[in-house]
Amino acid sequence: MPASHRTRHALRYLPVLPAVVLLLVFLAGPVLWAFHASLTNAGLTGRHARNPDWVGLENYQRLFQDPVFPLSLALTLLFVAGSAILGQNVLGLALAVLMRRARPVVSATVGTAVVAAWVLPEIVAAFAAYAFFSRDGTLNQLLGSVGVAGTDWLYAVPMAAVVLANVWRGTAFSMLVYRSALGGVPGELTEAAQMDGAGAWQRLALITLPVIRGSIATNLMLVTLQTLAVFTLIWVMTGGGPATGSTTLPVLAYQEAFKFGDIGYGTAVASVLILIGAVFGAVYLRLLREQRP
């Protein structure tokens, strides 16, 4: 009977309904609201605060002519490439591989140290990183104790400082993902390769990595999207400065929307950021799909 068949068909989706509703309300809702606001001249105060006018793509036009935008975009990509794709991802994999070979005591100690940074709330981690890199901070004191003159890290190399801080803070996640992925690599496979005379690097490159390819893509997607959105860490450490030296897109969006009270323009920046996240997401999803025969 087609009618009861259709009912049963519909009922099958019932369990996912709450999840879908939650996603719509808390994910699609804000995204749509931000996109809508970016097409208006809504402000925090002034005439357009409560009665914004529709301005079409004016905010985007302004954004693409703004000399800060390409710089900010480049800094965002640098931040993601440096701290997520290279930093957290590669370092997490290296730690996971090494920990399998290390003695349990060493492995547990390293694991605890790495996870400790991840457990900290973002604001606490940000202040800790600030205290480490600042002028009178831990790093300069350590350097001073061995007779090396430090510098003003947050001023001289702001991007390097925030990238390192984000690597420190986020590597634990990649490490945990890869530890569990490596646990799933069949022992016979690596043993067989070893019997055939494959060295350690060859086994890693030709056996282990292809087997855990799905985990790599998933991990890359998660850390990339998380890193794209990092705001607190940068805001606390450098405030986006000096000048615009570490103004990534989230910092730019915040400054425009809340410091200059231009909600329309700020949400335009945020919408572009969402778009970049979507592009990264699509690329990784493709990677995930390709691995299936």
258 binds other proteins (CB under 8 A): yes
Options 28, 33, 113, 205; binder of other proteins; rule CB under 8 A: 33
| Cα–Cα distance measured from residue 45 to residue 247, given in angstroms and rounded to the nearest whole number | 24
Report the C-alpha gap between 221 and 96 in whole angstroms. Answer: 18
What distance, in Å, lies between the first and last C-alpha atoms of the chain?
Answer: 37
Q: Which is nearer to other proteins, 43 or 87 (CB)?
A: 43
Closest approach of other proteins to the CB of residue 102, in Å = 36
What is the C-alpha to C-alpha distance for residues 137 and 135, in angstroms, rounded to an integer? Answer: 5
Give the SS3 label for residue 40. Answer: strand
Smallest separation (angstroms) from other proteins to the CB of 206: 37
Segment lying near other proteins (by CB under 8 A), choices 2-10, 15-23, 47-55, 106-114:
47-55
Q: How far is the CB of 46 from other proteins (least distance, A)?
A: 4
Q: Which stretch binds other proteins (CB under 8 A): 111-119, 172-180, 181-189, 236-244?
A: 236-244
Site for other proteins contains 228 (CB under 8 A):
yes
Residue 50 as a binder of other proteins (CB under 8 A): the answer is: yes
Binding mask 10-29 for other proteins (x = CB under 8 A): -------------------x
**Candidate ranges 69-77, 172-180, 214-222, 249-257; the one touching other proteins (CB under 8 A):** 249-257
**Residue 43 binds to other proteins (criterion: CB under 8 A):** yes
Q: Please, what is the minimum distance in Å from the beta carbon of residue 253 to other proteins? A: 4
92 near other proteins, rule: CB under 8 A: no
Strand-pair partners of 40: 54
Q: Which residues of 107-129 are buried (b: 16+ CB within 10 A; e: fewer)?
A: beeebeebeebbeeeeeebbbbb
The phi, psi pair for 212, rounded to 5°, reads -95, 20
- Residue 260, interface with other proteins (CB under 8 A)? yes
User: Which residue from 72, 223, 267, 284 is in contact with other proteins, where contact means CB under 8 A?
Assistant: 267
H helix runs in the chain, sequence order: 2-11, 17-23, 29-37, 58-65, 68-79, 91-101, 104-119, 122-133, 138-145, 153-156, 158-183, 187-195, 200-202, 209-211, 213-228, 232-237, 249-254, 263-290
The amino acid occupying position 218 is T
Q: Which of 206, 243, 279, 285 binds other proteins (CB under 8 A)?
A: 243
Given 241, 281, 287, 288, the residue binding other proteins (CB under 8 A) = 241
Alpha-carbon span 220 to 234, nearest angstrom: 21
Under rule CB under 8 A, residue 4 binds other proteins: no
Q: Which amino acid is at 47?
A: R
State which of residues 102, 152, 159, 213 lies at the interface with other proteins (CB under 8 A).
Answer: 152
Among 176, 270, 280, 284, binds other proteins (CB under 8 A): 270
Rounded distance between C-alpha atoms, residue 135 and residue 261, angstroms: 32
Question: What is the Cα–Cα distance from 138 to 141, expressed in whole angstroms?
Answer: 5
Residues forming the site for other proteins (CB under 8 A): 29-31, 33-34, 37, 43-47, 49-50, 135, 152, 155-156, 225, 228-231, 239, 241-243, 250, 253-254, 257-261, 263, 266-267, 269-271, 273-274, 277
